[in-house]
């Protein structure tokens, strides 16, 4: 694992606006499809566990949305490790999709249903929500990678302690959100 210092990246150093603009949009465009591809095996597990509603006229997609969030975290972590220069913009690509959803929810409070339920013929809200959560997970992964580097530089804990702490919190949050989604589904 490379530290920021080993890559020659200086967070305080200003890069040209065009550099950040380009990397922001490239990550925004390609992060969600990358997360979806990485999530296919996990989606098969969800389907095997029966956490889908394909037999009903309206499909509940809350679990897929949550899965996109959690698969995005290791994808963002991996890419931050592989290309630390992307962290500067990758940590912020969640802002635009989440802002679009929040503005829509503010204008239409019943819009949450559109983002979590969809039929086979019309599921654009589900697609938008899944993409937004995939991108958010990706940004979280990038941010966690950077936080892990800072913890390592401070010498306050071992790599195993940091890993166990982060994944324990992630599992607990996932279980709480999955339980909340289960109640929302029924």
- Give, as one character, the DSSP assignment of residue 120: S
pLDDT digits 0-9 by tens, 118-176: 665 556 777 788 888 899 999 999 988 888 888 777 777 777 777 777 778 777 877 77
Q: How many domains does the chain have?
A: 1
What percent of the chain shows pLDDT beyond 70?
Answer: 75
**Per-residue confidence band for 7, with pLDDT thresholds at 50, 70 and 90:** very low
Domain assignment present for 168: yes
CA distance 138 to 27: 9
Domain assignment present for 1: no
Domain assignment present for 92: yes
CA distance 68 to 99: 18
For 88, the domain range is 15-185
pTM for the full predicted model: 0.76
**Residue 11 pLDDT > 60, yes or no?**
no
Task: Give the number of other Cβ atoms within 10 Å of residue 4's Cβ.
Answer: 16
Interhelix angle 159-185/62-82, nearest 10 degrees: 160
Domain assignment present for 8: no
Give the count of alpha carbons within 13 A of 171, CB side only.
Answer: 6
pLDDT of residue 139: 92
């Amino acid at each position: 694992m490379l530290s920021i210092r080993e890559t020659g990246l200086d967070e305080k150093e200003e890069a040209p606006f065009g550099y950040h603009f380009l990397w922001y949009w490239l990550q925004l465009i390609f992060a969600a499809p990358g997360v979806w591809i990485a999530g296919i095996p996990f989606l098969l597990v969800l389907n095997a566990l029966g956490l889908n509603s394909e037999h009903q006229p309206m499909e509940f997609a809350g679990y897929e949305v949550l899965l996109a969030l959690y698969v995005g975290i290791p994808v963002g972590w991996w890419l931050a490790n592989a290309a630390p220069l992307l962290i500067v913009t990758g940590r912020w690509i969640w802002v635009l999709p989440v802002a679009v959803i929040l503005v829509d929810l503010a204008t239409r409070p019943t819009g949450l249903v559109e983002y979590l339920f969809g039929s086979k013929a019309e599921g654009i809200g589900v697609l938008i929500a899944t993409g937004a959560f995939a991108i958010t997970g990706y940004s979280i992964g990038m941010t966690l990678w950077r936080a892990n580097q800072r913890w390592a530089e401070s010498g306050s804990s071992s790599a195993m302690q940091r890993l166990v702490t982060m994944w324990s919190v992630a599992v607990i949050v996932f279980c709480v959100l999955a339980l909340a989604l289960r109640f929302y589904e029924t």
